[in-house]
Structure 1
Amino acid sequence: MAKKAKKTIRREWTKADIKELKAHSKARTPVIKISKVTKRSVGALRQKALYLGIGLGHQR
């Protein structure tokens, strides 16, 4: 029997979350560390950064 896939739980981005992401971008914090602190996936962080027009990781 196949394993069940982990259910994705989506969380809205609050203004505080966006402010924190911008601060990490300015401080050049590695994406993996931001991921652990915010409890969001690397992909989610990169997508939001792209949408906001800020750099993360190698996109500088």
Structure 2
Amino acid sequence: MTKKTTSKRKEYTKDDIKLLKAHSKARTRVAELSKLMKRSEGSLRQKARSLGVGLGHQR
């Protein structure tokens, strides 16, 4: 039998949200922000969308 890997959800703290908004204004690339915050790009994009802020470059 193979063991199914599950990821534990990591809640966003107030500091995480401040950092996300700051990098949104600075137009930091999502890949860089992902490494910095140790979260997936998809997670960051979803959170930014729920907060109503842009993330990365906008075409």
TM-score, normalisation: structure 1:
0.85
Cα-to-partner distance string for 1:8-32 (whole Å, 9 max, x where unaligned)? 1211110000000000000000000
The aligned residue for residue 17 of structure 1 is 16
The aligned residue for residue 43 of structure 1 is 42
Say how many residue pairs are matched: 59
Decide which structure has greater helix share.
Answer: 1
Q: Which runs of 5+ in 2 are unaligned?
A: none
TM-score, normalisation: structure 2:
0.86
Q: CA RMSD in A?
A: 1.6
- Regions of 4+ moved over 3 Å: 3-6
| CA 1:58–1:27: 2 relative to 1, 3 Å | closer
Of the two structures, which has the highest relative contact order with CA contacts closer than 8 Å and spacing of 6 or more? Answer: 2
- Residue 5 of structure 1, CA deviation: 4.5
Q: Which runs of 5+ in 1 are unaligned?
A: none
